[in-house]
Amino acid sequence: MIVGILGCGAIANTIVNEFLSDDGIDIKYFYDTDIERAENLAQISNGIAVLEMDEMLDNVDLVLESASPIALKVHALNIIENGKDLMVMSVGALMDKEFRQKIHKAAQANNAKVYAPSGAIVGLDGIKAASIGKIKKASLTTRKSPKSLGREVEEEEILFEGKASEAVERFPVNINVAASLSIACNMDIDVKIIVDPKVDRNVHEVLVQGDFGEFRSSSENVPFAANPKTSMLAAFSAIKLLKSFSECFSVGT
Ligand SMILES: NC(=O)C1=CN([C@@H]2O[C@H](COP(=O)(O)OP(=O)(O)OC[C@H]3O[C@@H](n4cnc5c(N)ncnc54)[C@H](O)[C@@H]3O)[C@@H](O)[C@H]2O)C=CC1
Ligand SMILES: O=C([O-])CC(=O)C(=O)O
């Protein structure tokens, strides 16, 4: 499988450095609006930096988007309409129902697959199982440092309380996890975002209640030094999903 990367920042750097093109997967093409970032990853992996997405589309089987929700909106349909699979990190863009439906239809029409790794959130396996019954309530409380959220505060402060659809609009590169949870639950979940000078990790607490019973998950994710908004776990989840394509045994939903 030949993979192209759209967006060569913190997540892409970890994927390239950890993955090293084993398991029959060759991460070969790189695109970024900042060409130096694409060239840097191309050099590390003996790959090719391109100036336009169209330069990679004929040659890849899958594009891994790790850029931004806006980049996903610009490029997703073109990727899928070229019959290429797509792995999405900027899941927040998919809270736009019309856009999600277009992606769904295009994927069906072009025999393409769209994957959203679990990213920085823990518990999607349980939610997917729970969604076979009725999910009655789901909420996410995210706590990040002032550096992660780009705020100067002396004490913890609630920055947002409301629905996931609004959270992803207001914090597009900080709360994609709310979209992943919402899509898995098939509801616009409740979200609280807290800036807390006492934490240096990205903390996500999830509560889900439904026919299955109830679960809580809590993760204290180590952020990237290069981009403290983003948890290392998000890059690891994409790597694990890429590796799973060549595995013959799978555990978890
Ligand atoms: N699903 C999840 O759980 C998570 C998702 N994310 C999302 O994944 C995405 C990538 O995250 P990071 O690697 O931490 O970000 P980053 O900011 O470190 O890297 C993003 C890269 O994409 C490039 N870029 C931005 N817009 C572009 C465009 N229109 N075309 C081409 N390149 C473009 C930037 O120049 C940058 O090099 C972000 O949208 C982030 O919010 C981040 C963490 C968790
Ligand atoms: O990486 C994280 O902890 C969460 C994040 O930034 C996102 O969901 O966009």
What's the average pLDDT block by block, 10 residues per block, for the chain (253 residues)?
A: 97 90 85 98 96 97 98 98 98 98 98 98 97 98 97 96 98 97 98 98 98 97 96 97 92 92
163 and 109 co-located in one domain: no
138 and 91 co-located in one domain: no
110, 80 Cβ separation under 8 angstroms? yes
109 and 9 co-located in one domain: yes
pLDDT at 24: 85
18, 239 Cβ separation under 8 angstroms? yes
Find the CATH number of the domain harbouring 218. Answer: 3.30.360.10
CA of 134 to the centre of ligand 2 (A): 27
Look up residue 202 and give its amino acid: N
95 and 190 co-located in one domain: no
Within a domain: 57: yes
155 and 83 co-located in one domain: no
State yes or no: 106 annotated in a binding site.
Answer: no
Domain assignment of residue 96, given as a range:
2-119+234-245
Global pTM value = 0.97
The ligand placed nearest to the CA atom of residue 204 is: 2
104 is catalytic: no
What is the arrangement of strands in the sheet containing 135-144, beginning at the earlier edge strand? 157-163, 190-195, 135-144, 202-210, 213-221
69 and 143 co-located in one domain: no
pLDDT at 79: 98
Look up residue 253 and give its amino acid: T
State yes or no: 46 annotated in a binding site.
Answer: no
133 and 217 co-located in one domain: yes
93 and 172 co-located in one domain: no
240 and 188 co-located in one domain: no
How many distinct structural domains can be found in the chain?
Answer: 2
92 and 175 co-located in one domain: no
pLDDT at 109: 98
Within a domain: 251: no
Within a domain: 250: no
Q: Of 170, 172, 164, whose CA–CA distance to 188 is shortest?
A: 164
pLDDT at 21: 59
Question: Which of the following is catalytic: 84, 144, 204, 229?
Answer: 204
Find the CATH number of the domain harbouring 43. Answer: 3.40.50.720
88 and 171 co-located in one domain: no
* 68 within ligand 1 shell (Cβ under 6 A): yes
Give backbone dihedrals phi and psi of 62, rounded to 5 degrees, phi first.
Answer: -145, 140
Within a domain: 196: yes
139 and 188 co-located in one domain: yes
Nearest CA to ligand 1 atom 29: 71
Within a domain: 238: yes
| Pocket-testing residue among 5, 6, 11, ligand 1, by greatest number of atoms within 8 A of Cβ | 11
| Pocket-testing residue among 192, 231, 236, 237, ligand 2, by greatest number of atoms within 8 A of Cβ | 231
